[in-house]
Amino acid sequence: MKKAECTVCGALARVVRGNYKFAECGLRRVVLQGVETVHCAKCGNEEVAIPRLNELMRALALAVVKQPFRLQGEDVKFLRKYLNMTQAEFAGLLDIHKTNLSKWENNEDRIGDQSDRLIRTVVLALGDGLKGKMEEVVRSFPNIHKSKRRGSIDMDPQSLSYTYA
């Protein structure tokens, strides 16, 4: 059995490979496939080892802008944070009031279809490492479903390949 040192108490802890709900990224429905989790029997600490976090966040941002489903509030918030922008900065780019952006992010207001596409385009243009994907994603815009809402994004953090479940 694989063991690793617990970063909280220093005890030797059990390492388990499995799927992990990556809620820390701000999206509720991201499942990382086959990551190693440390379970410490001594202090109860559970920690996940995520390799290449920057690359993983980029792959998640791409998965969100490329999804054939309407953007949800948490998607917009996640993408804005990927751009390292405040609500005021992002709202300024989209030419909307900060209050409207806040309502989108909190699912209090439905995001219009054109705003949805504008958000994706801005993120592709400005998001770290996404510009090269712009043509491919923009050309797939007609595939965005009008009403369907996605389930989870199942992401393999090793290969950075993903599926919409």
User: What are the residues binding Zn ion (CB under 5 A)?
Assistant: 6, 8-9, 11, 40, 42-43, 45
CB of 41 to Zn ion, least distance (A): 8
Q: Which is nearer to Zn ion, 8 or 93 (CB)?
A: 8
| DSSP element (H, E) containing 5 | strand 3-5
**Residue written as token pair 């390292």:** 84
Tokens of 119: 């958000």
Between the two ends of the chain, the Cα-to-Cα distance in Å is 31
For residues 45 and 79, the answer to whether their CB atoms sit within 8 Å is no
Q: Which is nearer to Zn ion, 6 or 122 (CB)?
A: 6
CB of 47 to Zn ion, least distance (A): 9
Tokens of 141: 């815009």
Q: Which is nearer to Zn ion, 8 or 118 (CB)?
A: 8
CB of 2 to Zn ion, least distance (A): 16
